[in-house]
Chain A
Amino acid sequence: MTGPILGAAGPRHHILSVLVENKAGVLARVASLFSRRGYNIFSLAVAPTDDERFSRITIVVDVESAPLEQIVQQLDKLVNVVRISELAPEQAMERELLLATVGAGGEQRVQVAALVQMFAGTVLDVASDQVTVAVTAAPDTLDDVEDLLAPFGIVELQRTGRVALPKLGSRRRLHAVADEAG
């Protein structure tokens, strides 16, 4: 369930794990940099870390819009960016959250519940003819979940940006592309 990113997020996408100062406007600085330099963001997730001074932004970037090295160096020029690590897709544990409301009453409701259970998902809400489910998984797995839910009739669907950490076995190969020294 944690294989390399495929499909929409093919090998031209790289994951940058960017440690930033937890200050007002930092996300705007990062987003504005991508916008003015013409870099494409595939997905973006931001959250506090265990240290309240810092937040972590996980950015999946399109390296066809610009070389990864150039994106990293420009990002590193932002004064509020503390450290940037690149997570190669095959060395990363990635997760996204999917929320979906599907049309499912009676018999179908049981089928949907069984389906999401296979992906360790949960049923969040139930109405007579609809059900809302949540699944957390690697992005390509969520693509499969979407495909499997589609026949029931998707009413609404929402996916988060991706978060990622290096696989334990490959931690030594985690590539700190820019840090205090850079």
Chain B
Amino acid sequence: MQLTGAQALIKSLEMEQVDVVFGLPGGAILPVYDPLLDSSIRHILVRHEQGAGHAAEGYAQVTGRPGVAMVTSGPGATNIVTPLLDAMMDSIPLVVVTGQVPSTAIGTDAFQECAITGVTMGITKHNWLVTEAADIPRVVAEAFYVASTGRPGPVLVDVPKDVANATMEWYWPSVGDLDLPGYHPPAAGDPALVRRAAELVLGAKRPVIYAGGGILKARAADALRTLAERAGIPVVTTLMARGAFPDSHPLCLGMPGMHGNYTAVTAMQRADLLLALGSRFDDRVTGKISAFAPDAKILHVDIDPAELGKVRRADVAIAGDCKVVIEELLSALAELGLGDQGQVAAASPAAGRPDVEPWRAQLRRWQEQYPLTYQQTDDGPLKPQFVIETLRDMTPDDTVVASGVGQHQMWASQYWRFDHPYTWVNSGGAGTMGFAVPAAIGAKVGRPEKMVWAVDGDGCFQMTAQELVTATAERIPVKIAILNNAYLGMVRQWQELFYEERYSEVYLSPDLPDYVKWAEAMGCVGLRVESAAEVAPAIDKANAVDDRPVVIDFRTDAFEKVYPMVPAGASNDDIIVGPTEGEGGR
């Protein structure tokens, strides 16, 4: 069967079971948009290419399948560079197809030409410039394989216009036909190392599981829960792992890091064993690395061998898929006498295990002594934390929450109760402001049966709000809660605490733009909330809308800050619990 390169590309996407593509056409990608008209694939026309990328990320985060975006050459391609970085930092499987000027024009500074494979070399897992129409099915298959296996990540396929127009004889490759001689992600861990890991677990008095986003990527939430329960080990879930272990579980300590709670942060500092599972010792988690968890032995499991020893040398480092390695670890623990109900076989190595109960009792005392706190008064300013707690309590517990980056993100992570995996969609490593709206749209497309709320900041909202036009046009009923404090709040917080309250370029204004009118102009329902009493009724109204997006402009207290806080570069021991302490007590 003779097909054009463009037809082969669309057919290849169909073969990869792609059901939705987020994109925006232009000159160089025109040939590919023509056969799209005849395809079963749903195309969602975004208003800016960045929106296509983040929507594809949101889709990927909730479904576990690669998100797909398609844009044209030049500025179309560079507009999607930020989502590629975002997906690279957070290991999100993403396949981006870009149009390119005709092969014969490459290198001539042609109209809308950009050497996008060069630009994105360092922020994709891999990229391809297709030179022959006959290569298209193989390259698409390789792209999906690379994006979704091993440590997931973004890939980019650049297709020159003449290649899309050329004809080829259709075929579909099997895995064996892929031309990837240098790509072999690990799966299982080395059995000898797993045995040593099990011995470490049974020797620890103060163990903590440091669960990262790799748990979710490996679909290992159930395995993690089994391990934690069987061995009685408390769990911290990083920003990327919220939902990987239920917040309501008695062993859950919540989020560690710069704005983590006291118990999660201090548990890691005092631990004698950290089980780092799919986590990467990010600076926002460790604080000053030389002062991080000084007495802890490290068991590090990651599917990316380059993460092992990158930041902190591990005592036992295992390259492998988190789910597979946790299951291997459970078997090794069983061989050492730890039964599947946590019971211990007499005279087994597990019988000599130190009692971890005093450690867990200590953690419970810290939890009682240092809870997250804020004060909402009836007639005082509206507190952002109150909005999030009310929203949490008024929505189904499997609601998907997307967020942007900044104070609202930290409050959402702190005050939401994540009891299900794949319900938290956010930008962690890259810290991409403007992520929430398009990511929420992608999440709703991926999980139409679930309620999807974006918790956004006013600064973030202004960066990508135009995608609500997309949401209205495509009938994607997402809900947006803007915590509008009229500031670039996190920057303001740092200027207040560390720059002597010299506020430089952080004021945005609460009513410029008018968020309600803007929402209405984009076809959404727009609501405004100015006091604590109005919060619940507005959320009720929003929850009742199911045929269009809703935006609620919550006018929140501009002076509220995110606590606890470990100042950048400080030791996690120097955690500031609240505003009456440390720099915050000024």
Contacts and interface: CB of A to CB of B under 8 A. Distances in A.
Given A73-B305, A181-B184, A79 B122 contact: no
Interface in A12-61: 20-21, 24-25, 28-29, 32-33, 36, 53
Contacts, number: 52
Number of chain A interface residues as a range = 20 to 34
Contacts of B182: 20-21, 78-83
B124 to A, nearest CB: 10
Contacts of A178: 305
Interface string B456-471: 0000000000000000
Contact of B118 (A28, A78, A182): A28
A180 interface: yes
Contact of B309 (A28, A69, A77): A69
Interface in B296-335: 304-306, 308-310, 319
Contact of A21 (B125, B129, B146, B181): B181
A76 interface: yes
B306 A70 contact: yes
Interface in B83-128: 117-118, 121-122, 125-126
Given A180-B184, A182-B186, A77 B122 contact: no
A28 B121 CA distance: 9
Contacts of A53: 181
B126 A79 contact: yes
Contacts of B186: 181-182
Contact of B180 (A28, A32, A79, A83): A79
B427 to A, nearest CB: 20
B278 to A, nearest CB: 17
Contacts of B305: 73, 76, 178, 182
Contacts of B126: 78-80
A70 B129 CA distance: 28
A111 interface: no
B146 A79 contact: yes
A32 B121 contact: yes
A160 interface: no
Contacts of A69: 309
Contact of A79 (B183, B306, B309, B319): B183
A58 to B, nearest CB: 17
Contacts of B306: 70, 73-74, 76-77
Contact of B122 (A36, A76, A83): A36
A70 B183 CA distance: 18
A29 to B, nearest CB: 6
Contacts of B310: 70
B117, B129, B305, most chain A CB atoms within 10 A: B305
A32 B126 CA distance: 13
Nearest to B179: A21
A67 interface: yes
Contacts of A181: 184, 186
Interface string B526-543: 000000000000000000
Contacts of B308: 73
Contacts of B180: 79
A20 B181 CA distance: 9
Nearest to A53: B181
A74 B308 CA distance: 11
Contacts of A81: 182
A30 to B, nearest CB: 10
A32 B184 contact: no
A80 B117 CA distance: 14
A157 B129 CA distance: 38
A67 B309 contact: yes
A175 B52 CA distance: 45
A36 B308 CA distance: 19
Nearest to A32: B121
Interface in B150-182: 180-182
A181 B185 CA distance: 8
A141 to B, nearest CB: 34
B183 A24 contact: no
Interface string A73-103: 1101111111100000000000000000000
Contacts of B125: 77, 79
A141 B310 CA distance: 36
A73, A82, A83, A180, most chain B CB atoms within 10 A: A73
Contacts of B122: 32-33, 36
B123 to A, nearest CB: 9
B117 A25 contact: yes
Contacts of B121: 25, 28-29, 32
A10 B396 CA distance: 64
Contacts of B118: 25, 28
A79 B125 CA distance: 8
A83 B305 CA distance: 15
Contacts of A82: 181-182
A26 to B, nearest CB: 10
Contacts of A180: 184
21 contacts: A24-B129, A33-B122, A67-B309, A69-B309, A73-B305, A73-B308, A74-B306, A76-B306, A77-B125, A77-B306, A79-B125, A79-B180, A79-B182, A79-B183, A82-B181, A82-B182, A178-B305, A180-B184, A181-B184, A182-B184, A182-B319
Given A20-B182, A69-B309, A77-B125, 10 more contacts: A21-B182, A36-B122, A70-B306, A70-B309, A70-B310, A77-B304, A79-B125, A80-B126, A178-B305, A181-B184
Interface of A: 20-21, 24-25, 28-29, 32-33, 36, 53, 67, 69-70, 73-74, 76-83, 178, 180-182
Interface of B: 117-118, 121-122, 125-126, 129, 146, 180-184, 186, 304-306, 308-310, 319
The 3 closest A-B pairs by CB, nearest first: A73-B306, A82-B182, A79-B126
